[in-house]
């Protein structure tokens, strides 16, 4: 056979009628099962990666919301404690003022008793 002759070209070209070339090598008419399997595995890995990223993103969002709620609750509790401490301080001041007033009245009564003739 000569190089480049029609017969040699026909023999090298796979024929779909004879089943040659189906899924084999460069001359294959359809992708081989191995190529489909690799493509399928890569697609599955990609979707798994995307699902994992979406899950992590969602968990981060939930965590951020929970942290914001916790911070707000702590801030409100601190504000309430500060308000309660202010009220207690005001009450202590009133009680001290009342005690001073009672002490003053007691002093007045003592002085009145000293001034009364017996």
pLDDT tens digits, 70-103: 999 999 999 999 999 999 999 999 999 999 999 9
pLDDT band at 41 (very low <50, low <70, confident <90, very high): confident
* 102 exposure class (CB count in 10 Å sphere: 0-12, 13-18, 19+): exposed
Cα–Cα distance between 38 and 47 in angstroms, integer? 14
Task: Give mean pLDDT, residues 42-53.
Answer: 93
Which of the four pLDDT bands, split at 50, 70 and 90, describes residue 67? very high
Specify the pTM: 0.48
Report the alpha-carbon distance of residue 93 to residue 89 in Å, rounded: 6
Q: Please tell me the distance from the alpha carbon of residue 65 to that of residue 72, in angstroms, as a whole number.
A: 11
What single DSSP character describes residue 25? S
73 and 25 in a common domain: no
Q: Do 90 and 51 have their domain in common? A: yes
For residue 1, give its domain range. 1-30
Same domain for 36 and 24, yes or no, is: no
Tell me: do 35 and 18 sit in the same domain.
no
Q: How many domains does the chain have?
A: 2
Q: Report how far residue 7's alpha carbon sits from residue 17's, in angstroms, rounded to the nearest whole number.
A: 17
20 and 77 in a single domain? The answer is: no
């Amino acid at each position: 056979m000569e190089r480049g002759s029609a017969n040699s070209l026909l023999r090298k070209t796979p024929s779909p009628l004879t089943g040659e070339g189906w899924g084999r090598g460069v001359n294959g008419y359809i992708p081989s099962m191995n190529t489909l399997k690799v493509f399928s595995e890569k697609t599955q890995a990609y979707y798994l990666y995307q699902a994992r990223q979406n899950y992590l993103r969602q968990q981060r969002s939930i965590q951020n919301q929970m942290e914001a709620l916790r911070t707000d609750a702590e801030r409100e509790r601190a504000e309430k404690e500060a308000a309660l401490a202010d009220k207690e301080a005001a009450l202590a001041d009133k009680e001290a003022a009342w005690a001073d007033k009672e002490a003053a009245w007691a002093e007045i009564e003592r002085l009145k008793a000293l001034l009364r003739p017996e």
